[in-house]
Structure 1
Amino acid sequence: MTILDIGCGPGTITVDLASYVPQGHITGLERVGTVLTQARALAKEKGVTNVDFVEGDANALDYADGTFDVVVCHQVLQHVQDPVGILKEMRRVAKVGGIVAVRESDYGSFVWYPDVEGMEEWRSLYLKVAKSNGGEPNAGRMIHAWARKAGFQVGGIKSSSSTWCYSTKEEIAWWSGLWAERTVASSFAKTAVDGKLATSANLEKIAEVWQKWGEQEDAWFSVVHGEVICRKEE
């Protein structure tokens, strides 16, 4: 079996998938080639040899029609300007009878407790920043429709949803710390300030909100995802 993992990043999912096809091969593709150094290092560390990593553009895949048995992407389509176009490319390079699988989070469906003042302001800002970049942060609820527009038959699209849940002390500390840092020191922060959607002071305040939420004894967070498994029928 041959698999293509689009938007593989540091290769954590790619390397895991490789263990499912020890007699096959998986390719991780990433537009930002610098991160592939980490991916190759991870594969070497895990002793995984049936994998390779390449730099490429998912909008125009450099593969012939019907090359792969499975084409996957995880948390990618929410960030792109033409998700249907990428799904068409994924469908094109999949073999007839092959599978295209996608999983995307849905920010509008995130749920947390307790409702610390400022958390909704964070979500509102995130939605604005993501959309200003041409993305769709509520992609999870839309990917089944995008798949149909990309040419998959309704009967060949299996939709589902799943969640990540952060509830232990360690999980809450990691999740709140991640977002506190991301709010002030990431491309999100730069886009927010450059686009005049927020000031540095606004972002610092939101980072403090995340830290405050993470200090709550009963803190709990659920991340909702939409998923599709699409079979290429022709």
Structure 2
Amino acid sequence: MTESDERYTHGHHESVLRAHSWRTVENSAAYLIPELRAGATILDVGSGPGTITIDLAQRVAPGVVTGLDYSADAVARAQENARQKGVENVKFVVGDAYNLPFEDDSFDIVHTHQTLQHVGRPVDVLREMRRVVKPGGVVAAREVDWAGIIFYPELDALSRWQSLYDAVHRSNGGEPNAGRRLKAWAYEAGFTDVSGHASVWGMSSDEDRGWWGETWSQRVLSSSFASDVQELKLATVDDLEQLSKAWIDWRDDRTAWLAMPHGEILARP
């Protein structure tokens, strides 16, 4: 991304980057695994803290993987993550998803995860991804569908959180229910061979509930979500504190469960 009228809904608060650092190829890009091969070149658009990118690099070594993000802070964190893991066949650059700084036909695979939902012109981003993928290559995208989230217990406060999230996301120029639209967007972007898939993040174990509930209890108070809600006058600080407590209550309930559906595509020019 970058467009002056678009804003990344989550921002780059520490709680957000910590949540995103949970992501791996296994839990966030398993549909892409059959396409991976040693020596492949990959571009990861919207790479964030780089955990998926680094995982991809380890799987296709000695192929070089490039992560691109518009946030210099996210790129710096990704570079440090790669250094700590000793992964050398990966690099990270600051760049614009609408104007990728690469020649045509540069990569075997162009991948993005949870990026298209945050841009105002996702079809244009997909066209750019199509431009830089090699003939015979594949563009892969996975996006959540926020309206499809199911949680238990059915807490009123979490229903309120879901409504607020939708309003904030749309106010920032994105489409929170991108998952269901991926296949249509890909055909509009000019792809001729598009396969659609679906997968679900499930949060039920003590560990998963712990990190998800804890990070969201902080995000509703301290991340860009919190400031946007107040700027839009959708909720007060007291309201947000109630949402934070609801996420803690959900986290601590051993019967709690959450499912987040995702759309996935593999698209070929």
- Matches of residues 150-169 of structure 1 in structure 2 within 5 Å? 150-153=189-192, 156-169=193-206
2:256 to 202, 205, 219: 219
Range with bigger deviation, 117-126 or 196-205: 196-205
User: Which 5+ residue runs of structure 1 have no aligned equivalent?
Assistant: none
For 2:108 and 2:166, the matched residues in 1 are separated by 35
Give the aligned partner of residue 153 of structure 2: 114
- Matches of residues 39-188 of structure 1 in structure 2 within 5 Å? 39-153=78-192, 156-188=193-225
Deviation (angstroms), 1:24: 1.2
Give the aligned partner of residue 13 of structure 1: 52
SS of residue matched to 2:234: coil
> 2:249 corresponds to which letter in structure 1?
K
For 1:214 and 1:9, the matched residues in 2 are separated by 25
SS of residue matched to 1:104: strand
User: Which 5+ residue runs of structure 2 have no aligned equivalent?
Assistant: 1-39
For 1:48 and 1:217, the matched residues in 2 are separated by 38
> 2:201 corresponds to which letter in structure 1?
W
1:103-156 per-position Cα deviation (integer Å, ceiling 9, x unaligned): 011111111111122211110110000000011111111111111111112xx1
Deviation (angstroms), 1:198: 1.9
For 2:45 and 2:162, the matched residues in 1 are separated by 27
Give the aligned partner of residue 8 of structure 2: none
- Matches of residues 22-37 of structure 1 in structure 2 within 5 Å? 22-37=61-76
Indicate whether 1:207 and 2:244 are aligned: yes
Q: Percent identity?
A: 47
> 1:197 corresponds to which letter in structure 2?
L
For 1:8 and 1:171, the matched residues in 2 are separated by 22
